[in-house]
Structure 1
Amino acid sequence: MRFQHPDGSTVHLGYCSNVHQAEDLAGVIAQLAEYAEPVRERLGADRLGIGLWLARPVVTELAEDAAALARLKSELRARALETVTLNAFPYAGFHREVVKKDVYEPDWADEARLKYTLDCARVLAALLPDDVAHGSVSTLPLAWRTPWHRACSEEARHALDRLTNGLAALESWTGRRIRVGFEPEPGCVVENTTQAVRELGGLDPDRLGICLDACHLAVQFENPAEALRRLGEAGLPVVKLQASCAVEAARPADPAARAALRRLAEPRFLHQTRTVTDGDVVGVDDLPQALDGDLPDDTGPWRVHFHAPLHTEPEPPLRTTADQLDQVLAGLLGGPAAHCDHIEVETYTWSVLPEPPTDLPGGIAAELAWARDRLTGLGLKEDPS
């Protein structure tokens, strides 16, 4: 979906396809018919944005086979779908039985990460609608924090220089600007906006910036207004917003809260958990550690990296951080100028909810309707063209 901001710019809203299990081109195309088109129809939208996740084998095929790329673009057009952003955080295997920390491999000290990201940028430049001048690709925030040493940091900085040069060459060749956003995430080398400024400040703002995930921001107990101000002052643009909510337990010692949290402690994805003690954010790498006593439960609420559906609350007494997402949207889009034009609803955890939905397209459509209402409430107008 497209929206017109009061400043005249176009803001794109879509959902991320990493919720679907598909790691070959046939599977990606099939999910457009099985899920994305029904989501569009449920919304009653003439056009729907879909932020594609393309695993390494799919990207390789699309980058090397012009006919395959043309086929995907044709399928998108035929179903009134459009792609302006790719999620290149997971490299492959995102729906394996156990993912956990494997999602951070390869990292930005590995040549494979650079090559994958540039291939994603090339594919996206070809998939962009004819009337769209730029796209975005989101990626991991350099690496998981361990092991990470000076040599890794130097390799990553060299890779980012090459990434910048590659994106500039792509724009010169295609006329399409693709920007890459690094996505701060709890437990990583860059887990909050302060670290983003330290590790990523000084990069070319025309090519590189931040993918701001509202769930991650909330888990780190960052104040949205302060975080956005910090990024702006450092010249780090928000090239993409992942509209997402974390899960919060206001009283984590409450037996009912702990019982509800245990039902979220599933084995596939990592669920970093944080609280605030004496003014400092402290945490553990996964929810079971917190439940087993490794995180204080008497100093304040817990927030859990579990992407909860935007439009509904989890099992009581748990709640979501939708209020934080509201503040992020207002900070980026509620003023006289739009500070981000790519918004991607990224709830990839539907399949690991305690009660997975029987109607996934309906659930995704409800999330997008929630986001649409927030945008129009900020003064944006839906573009039906």
Structure 2
Amino acid sequence: MRLPDALGDLTYSTLVHAGDTWPEMRESLETFVPQVKARVSPDRPFGVSLRISGDSARTLSEDAAERRRLKEWLDAQGLYVYTVNAFPQGAFKNRVVMEDVYEPDWSTDARAEYTCRVADVLAEITPDGVVPSIQTMPLAYKPKVTSEEYVQAFTRNVLDVAAHLVDLERRTGRRVVLAIEPEPFCYLETIAETVEYFDTRLFSGAASRHLARRAGLPLSEAPAALRRHLGIVLDMGHQCVEFDDLTASLDLLADHGVPIFKLQAAAALWVPTVGEREVAELERFTDTIYLSQTTQRAQDGTLQRFLNLSDAIAAWRADPRDDVEWRTHFHVPVFMDAIGPFRTTRPMIEDALRAHVATRQSAHLEIETYTWDVLPAHLKTGDVVDYVSRELEFVRDVVTRGAGSPQEGGRA
């Protein structure tokens, strides 16, 4: 939905639904999205964040009739696509995913080719006046990046995709942007790391020369073209798990001219004080098909990172201590401020949204609680449409009221 006062488009990520193939994604779109629209935007157009997997990208890019059918269906339903999740290229639902979610990474031609196909589809199915964003993974799983050559490989592929986007705009008049999403345990993890990478790699003189050659641009135009087409997704949950201060992160990105093409509201589990009761209760969250990266902060500010919540629990049981807090990458509904004995990072989300109201941070806002289907059973008091609708209402209320907590909220 389009928020008032140029506050941007707001929707939810259809990554929450089945969508590993195009028939699955189409069925999910047709089943769930109209129901959500009827709840939160019955009389106005409603934006869609479309998951396009590698399989779906091939189907849509090769089938002009299917692209027309999709666009006609969207128009008939009062829907419009303004962003795509192209982070998981492979299967994401109903199987153990873990670090496979990062494959193929940006060092491969397969990732670049897939992203170009998604861009081509977007240029055709999105309405005039929309600058669609492609959400992509944070370059590589960090333990794999063991050489400068690896970094050069994925940087070169990102710049080649940027050249494709420049050419796409030249040919079609449609601008599509690529938004890289930092995430714990990836090459781009913290906002400080992300800013450094953009400064030294993507927005460097060498990057401008590469883009100018690949896109046939005058060198004088290349720096602006890079910033026009390359930026980030700021996932609030990811950065809270990193103990990044969200408002300071927004300022840092602005100071360095790194565009936020999508501002993503996602809440993580927060355990302010770790103890036996909390650890025992947390074990209910370890039976998941996704990574649950967890960061431990001691009272002296020292951080220790674990790939999964189960790893953090095992380390704590081997050396119990009462001077640490945990934040874990388990997406929970953004309207909840507490879940049993745990907090959530909802207060940090509210701070970031207020910063967005004060200074428009992004044209695209999105909620991404893709873990609804694997939430512990005791947290499921409604269906996915109920949860998604409440999340959209919550974020809409925080943003449009401009300050304070909305009436929606709660505990579980």
Check the 8 A contact 1:32/1:76 in 2, yes or no: no
Aligned to 2:399: 375
Encode CA deviations 1:94-153: one digit per residue, 9 max, x unaligned: 014200000011111011111111111111111212332x11111111111011121111
TM-score by length of 1: 0.93
Tell whether 2:2 aligns with 1:2.
yes
Q: Determine which structure has the larger helix proportion and give its number.
A: 2
Aligned to 2:365: 343
Out of 377, 389, 396, the position equivalent to 1:365 is 389
- Three-state SS of the structure 2 residue aligned to 1:52 is strand
Tell whether 2:275 aligns with 1:253.
yes
Tell whether 2:125 aligns with 1:104.
no
Please tell me the residue identity of whatever aligns with 1:305. H
Check the 8 A contact 2:263/2:361 in 1, yes or no: no
> Whose RCO is larger (CA < 8 A, sep 6+)?
1
Please tell me the residue identity of whatever aligns with 2:17. H
Tell whether 2:280 aligns with 1:282.
no
- How do residues 320-331 of structure 1 correspond to structure 2 at under 5 angstroms? 320-331=344-355
CA distance in 2, matches of 1:58, 1:271: 27
Q: Which segment drifts farther, 243-252 or 23-32?
A: 23-32
Aligned to 1:383: none
Aligned to 2:27: 30
Aligned to 1:263: 284
Tell whether 2:205 aligns with 1:207.
no
Encode CA deviations 1:331-380: one digit per residue, 9 max, x unaligned: 2x222x4220101110000011111455211111110000110111128x
Please tell me the residue identity of whatever aligns with 2:266. S
Q: Which runs of 5+ in 2 are unaligned?
A: 204-225, 404-412
Please tell me the residue identity of whatever aligns with 2:28. Q
Aligned to 1:184: 182
Report the identity percentage.
33
Aligned to 2:8: 11
Tell whether 2:225 aligns with 1:227.
no
Encode CA deviations 1:266-287: one digit per residue, 9 max, x unaligned: 2300000012133232210000
Check the 8 A contact 1:114/1:163 in 2, yes or no: yes
- How do residues 296-315 of structure 1 correspond to structure 2 at under 5 angstroms? 297-315=321-339
Kindly state the Cα deviation for residue 170 of structure 1 after the two structures are TM-superposed: 0.8
Check the 8 A contact 1:29/1:75 in 2, yes or no: no
Aligned to 1:319: 343
Aligned to 1:125: 123
Distance 1:297 1:322, change over 3 A: farther
Kindly state the Cα deviation for residue 181 of structure 1 after the two structures are TM-superposed: 1.0
Check the 8 A contact 1:276/1:300 in 2, yes or no: yes
- Three-state SS of the structure 1 residue aligned to 2:3 is strand
Please tell me the residue identity of whatever aligns with 1:215. G
CA distance in 2, matches of 1:138, 1:44: 24
Kindly state the Cα deviation for residue 62 of structure 1 after the two structures are TM-superposed: 0.8
CA distance in 1, matches of 2:7, 2:343: 32
Q: Which has the larger radius of gyration?
A: 2
Aligned to 2:209: none
Aligned to 2:140: 143
TM-score by length of 2: 0.87
Check the 8 A contact 1:39/1:361 in 2, yes or no: yes
Kindly state the Cα deviation for residue 327 of structure 1 after the two structures are TM-superposed: 1.4
Tell whether 2:240 aligns with 1:218.
yes
Aligned to 1:40: 37
Q: Which segment drifts farther, 195-204 or 215-224?
A: 195-204
Please tell me the residue identity of whatever aligns with 1:126. E
Check the 8 A contact 1:260/1:315 in 2, yes or no: no
Aligned to 1:237: 259
Q: Which runs of 5+ in 1 are unaligned?
A: 380-385
CA distance in 2, matches of 1:296, 1:232: 41
Q: Which segment drifts farther, 122-131 or 92-101?
A: 122-131
Kindly state the Cα deviation for residue 44 of structure 1 after the two structures are TM-superposed: 4.3
Kindly state the Cα deviation for residue 247 of structure 1 after the two structures are TM-superposed: 0.6
Aligned to 1:168: 166
Kindly state the Cα deviation for residue 296 of structure 1 after the two structures are TM-superposed: 6.8
Aligned to 1:292: 314
